[in-house]
Chains A and B, each alone.
Chain A
C-alpha cells in the first residue's frame, strides 16, 4: 500500500508549526514529518529519542526531517526508513502553493496523495487578503486546498472566525472550513490506515470537537453510485475514509475523501473489515442520515 502523504499549507504565521507539534505529541501512528525548520518546531526535548543527520526520531516512533530544497530527496529518505512511516506530512513553506508541492510529492515512488490541508489565521486572514503584496499568494494557497482549517481562534474571536470563514467561502465555495483544535492537528484528519482494532478504538475522536460517525455497508457497493453519494455530502463532512468491496466480484477498495476530492483505489493489503468513517464539524448529519445517503450505493449489479 502507498504511504499516505498529506501537505499542510498556509501563509507565514498561520500556525503550521504549532499544528504539527501537536500532531507529533499525540501521534499513535508512526508519522514522518518534513518541516522547513526543525528548530522552530520546538519539540519537547524529553520526547526526542535520537537526533542526527538532519533527522530527529521521537520516542513514539514519529520522525522529523528538514525539507530543504529537495522535496523528492526528503521523501525518499523517509521512505527508506525501517520501519516505513505509516503517514507522511509535509509542511509547505509559507509562500508556496501547497497543491504544487502535492503534485510533485505524489510523483515519488510508494506514496499516495492523501489531502492538502491549508490553515488560515482567523485573526489576520482578511487583512492579509487585503494586502496589495500578499493577496494573490494567499488566494493561490487556498485555491486548490481540500480542507481549510481556521487557526488562532482564541485571538480571532467569533467576529474574526466569521470574517475569515466568509472570505474563504468567497474564494472556495463548498470547500469545508473547520476550526483547528487548540492542541494541534488531530490525527483523525489524516488518512485512513488499517490498524489493529485495539488501536482503532484509541483513535476515537474525543476531545477535538469533531463529529464522528461510522457506516458499515451490508455488502458490495456500486462504484459509480458510491462516488455520487460521496459527492452529495454537505461541506460539514470533512473526511470520509475506510474500506469497502465494490462491484459484483466484491473487490476490496480503499476509500479516501478529503473535502471535495475522492480517491477510490483497489486495496491489495491484508483483509480489512468493510466500513467507512465520517469525520465532520459538529453540524455534520448524524449517522442515520449519512447511512441513508450511502445506502444508495448498496447493491452492486
Chain B
C-alpha cells in the first residue's frame, strides 16, 4: 500500500517552472511533489486528502538562502542595537535605535536583566548617526565595573568600555593597528579587525556563551527561517567540529525541525589533506535535510572595512588596498585540490581584484581538470566589471551577489569606498542576468537579516537606506529576483533537483504567502507576510509573535 496523498490548494502556486508557471493544486506524497496543476491533474488521485487551509494564499517554492550563517540564531541571545527594525526568532520587532541615547538605554536595560558578568550586544550601526561615533565614555555610562562589548552590524568593528579596554590590554597598547584614536591620540574604545576582536572574545568576554553554536542556536535560526519563508539555508562557514556536526545531525533528524541545512566546510580550518579527508567523510553522511557538498574559501576582507582587495582606482577615500586572506600564489593549489576532490567551491571575494584572482585560479583548475557542471560559486562578488563577469560566464561559474549591501551600506559606498559611479555597479544583478550567469542573492545573516523577500526587494529596487536609487541599470525584475531566492540559489548548491521549484519529484517545500509577489507593486515585495512554510509536506504555521 502506498503512502497517503495530500493535495494542497492555493489561490496561486508560483512554481518557478517556466513550462507551468502557475498552478492552483499540488499533490504531495512521501514528502515529495507528486503532481502540479489544477483540478484535472488532481483527478488522478481520487483518494487524496484535501488541505485547503492555504486556499486563499499564494504558494512559492520554499526560499533558499545561499549565504547565511546559522549564528544568526545565536546572536539573538544578546540585545540587538541596530539602526533598523529587526525581527527576532520569537517574531517580536526590535525597533531600530536612532541615536546614541537609545543605544545606551537598551544596554542599561540589558545590564539590569543580567546582574553579573560581561555585557555583550550586536548589530550596532552608527552610519546614520550623522558622523557621531561611539566612544568609551558612552559605554562607561552603562557600566564602570563590568566589561561592555558592542559588536557593529558589519561584524568588523567593536566598541569597548573602559573595563573591557583594560582587560584586553588595549588601554596601555601604545602602538596597535586597529585601535581607533581620537584627536588627542588616545584610543576611543573602538577597535577594528578580526584579530583585535578575537582577543576580546578570548580575554574579555570568555564567559559569554551567547555565540556558541549548539542545538539551541540552530533552533533559534530555524524559528527565524520559518518566519522568513526559508526552508533551505547554508551555514556558509563551518569548522565541522564534532560538536557542531552532531548538532546539525540532531536537528536534521528531528521531523519538527523545519529546515534543510547546507553547511560549507571552512577549507582553512584544516591542513589540506585533513580537510579533504574530513570532507569525504562528511559527504558520505548527507541526508535529505543535511547536505555536505560546499567548501568555503575566503580570499579577501570586506569593502566597508577597507580590507577587500580592489583593482584600480582603489578605495575612493584613498585608503590603502586591503588584505589577501589567501595569497593568489597559494590560491591556485588550494582551488585545484578542492576542484579535483569534487567539492563545490564557495569563494568569498568582495573586491574586484580578489574576484579576478579567484577567477584566474578557477580557470587554471577547470582547464587542467575539466569537470562539467562544477557549480563553483563566487560569494559576495560585489565589484566585477562586465569584462570580468564575461570571464565568470565563460567558465560556468555561479554568482551569489550581496543585494542587501545596496540598502545597508550603499550610502557608505558612495561616500567612502567607491564613489557614486562605481557604487552604481556594485552587486550587479542586472549585468549577471544579461550575461546568463546563474544568479543567487543573499543576506549574509547575521550581517543583514535573514529575509529573502527583503533581499529580492533590494535587487529589484536598489534603494539605499536614505531612499536613493543606486544603479538603476542593475535593477532586476521581481520575477528574476524571486527565481534568485529559490531555484537560482538551489542551482548554485547543485540542489536544484531537490528544492527551489515546485515540480514533480522534488521535496514538497513551500513558502506560504499572504499576497502574490508577482502581482504586488515591486516596492512592496519586502512587506509580503509569510504565513507558513511546508517542509517535506509537513506544515509549519508561523506562530504569532510571542
Q: Is B168 on the interface with A (CB-CB < 8 A)? A: yes
When distances are taken between beta carbons in the complex, the residues of chain B under 8 Å from A274 are none
Q: Which segment, of A130-138, A161-169, A195-203, A234-242, faces chain B?
A: A130-138
- Verify A12–B327 contact, CB threshold 8 A: yes
- Verify A72–B327 contact, CB threshold 8 A: no
In residues 68-104 of chain A, which contact B (Cβ within 8 Å)? 69-73, 94-95, 100, 103-104
- Verify A103–B326 contact, CB threshold 8 A: no
When distances are taken between beta carbons in the complex, the residues of chain A under 8 Å from B357 are 133
Q: Is A59 on the interface with B (CB-CB < 8 A)? A: no
Give Cα distance in the complex from A279 to B169, angstroms.
33
Give Cα distance in the complex from A103 to B323, angstroms.
17
Shortest beta-carbon distance from B356 to chain A in Å: 9
In residues 418-434 of chain B, which contact A (Cβ within 8 Å)? none
Q: Is A288 on the interface with B (CB-CB < 8 A)? A: no
When distances are taken between beta carbons in the complex, the residues of chain B under 8 Å from A69 are 198
Give Cα distance in the complex from A73 to B328, angstroms.
28
- Verify B327–A107 contact, CB threshold 8 A: no
Q: A36: nearest residue on chain B (CB-CB)?
A: B271
Q: Which segment, of B65-73, B173-181, B371-379, B494-502, faces chain A?
A: B173-181
When distances are taken between beta carbons in the complex, the residues of chain B under 8 Å from A298 are none
In residues 314-357 of chain B, which contact A (Cβ within 8 Å)? 320-321, 323-330, 353, 357
Shortest beta-carbon distance from A278 to chain B in Å: 27
Q: Is B278 on the interface with A (CB-CB < 8 A)? A: no
Q: Is A37 on the interface with B (CB-CB < 8 A)? A: yes
Give Cα distance in the complex from A69 to B326, angstroms.
14
Q: Is A39 on the interface with B (CB-CB < 8 A)? A: yes
Shortest beta-carbon distance from A286 to chain B in Å: 35
- Verify A95–B326 contact, CB threshold 8 A: yes
- Name the contact of A136 in the complex, choosing from B168, B321, B329 (C-beta under 8 A): B321
Shortest beta-carbon distance from B508 to chain A in Å: 41
- Verify B196–A72 contact, CB threshold 8 A: no
When distances are taken between beta carbons in the complex, the residues of chain A under 8 Å from B203 are 72
- Verify A107–B198 contact, CB threshold 8 A: no
- Name the contact of A95 in the complex, choosing from B170, B327, B353 (C-beta under 8 A): B327
- Name the contact of B327 in the complex, choosing from A37, A39, A100, A137 (C-beta under 8 A): A137
- Verify A107–B173 contact, CB threshold 8 A: yes
- Verify A39–B271 contact, CB threshold 8 A: yes
When distances are taken between beta carbons in the complex, the residues of chain B under 8 Å from A134 are 327-329
- Name the contact of B168 in the complex, choosing from A103, A107, A137 (C-beta under 8 A): A107
Given known A71-B195, A137-B324, contact A103–B173 (CB-CB < 8 A): yes
Q: B354: nearest residue on chain A (CB-CB)?
A: A133
- Verify B320–A103 contact, CB threshold 8 A: no
- Name the contact of A12 in the complex, choosing from B170, B330, B353 (C-beta under 8 A): B330
Q: B356: nearest residue on chain A (CB-CB)?
A: A133
Which residue, of B199, B321, B325, has the highest number of chain A Cβ atoms within 10 A? B199
Given known A70-B202, A72-B203, contact A104–B195 (CB-CB < 8 A): yes
Using C-beta atoms within 8 Å of the partner chain, give the interface range for chain B: 20 to 34
Q: B239: nearest residue on chain A (CB-CB)?
A: A69
When distances are taken between beta carbons in the complex, the residues of chain A under 8 Å from B330 are 12, 94-95
Could you give, for residues 171-189 of chain B, a 1 whenever the CB lies within 8 Å of some chain A CB and a 0 otherwise? 0010111000000000000
- Verify B325–A136 contact, CB threshold 8 A: no
Give Cα distance in the complex from A37 to B357, angstroms.
24
- Name the contact of A94 in the complex, choosing from B169, B176, B327 (C-beta under 8 A): B327
Shortest beta-carbon distance from A240 to chain B in Å: 22
Q: B175: nearest residue on chain A (CB-CB)?
A: A103
In residues 57-72 of chain A, which contact B (Cβ within 8 Å)? 69-72
Give Cα distance in the complex from A133 to B177, angstroms.
23
- Verify A100–B321 contact, CB threshold 8 A: no
Could you give, for residues 275-298 of chain A, a 1 whenever the CB lies within 8 Å of some chain B CB and a 0 otherwise? 000000000000000000000000
Shortest beta-carbon distance from A131 to chain B in Å: 8
In residues 247-268 of chain A, which contact B (Cβ within 8 Å)? none
Give Cα distance in the complex from A15 to B168, angstroms.
33
- Verify B168–A133 contact, CB threshold 8 A: no
Give Cα distance in the complex from A71 to B353, angstroms.
28
Given known A134-B327, A134-B329, contact A103–B202 (CB-CB < 8 A): no
Shortest beta-carbon distance from A140 to chain B in Å: 9
Give Cα distance in the complex from A72 to B167, angstroms.
14
Give Cα distance in the complex from A82 to B323, angstroms.
38
Shortest beta-carbon distance from A75 to chain B in Å: 11
- Verify A107–B199 contact, CB threshold 8 A: yes
Which residue, of A11, A134, A137, has the highest number of chain B Cβ atoms within 10 A? A137
Could you give, for residues 89-130 of chain A, a 1 whenever the CB lies within 8 Å of some chain B CB and a 0 otherwise? 000001100001001100100000000000000000000000
Shortest beta-carbon distance from A24 to chain B in Å: 19
- Verify B329–A100 contact, CB threshold 8 A: no
When distances are taken between beta carbons in the complex, the residues of chain B under 8 Å from A72 are 198-199, 202-203
- Verify A95–B323 contact, CB threshold 8 A: yes
* Interface residues in chain A, defined as those with a beta carbon under 8 Å from any beta carbon in chain B: 11-12, 37, 39, 69-73, 94-95, 100, 103-104, 107, 131, 133-134, 136-137
A-B contact pairs, 8 of them (CB 8 A): A94-B330, A95-B326, A95-B327, A104-B199, A107-B176, A131-B329, A134-B327, A134-B329
* Interface residues in chain B, defined as those with a beta carbon under 8 Å from any beta carbon in chain A: 168-170, 173, 175-177, 195-196, 198-199, 202-203, 271, 320-321, 323-330, 353, 357
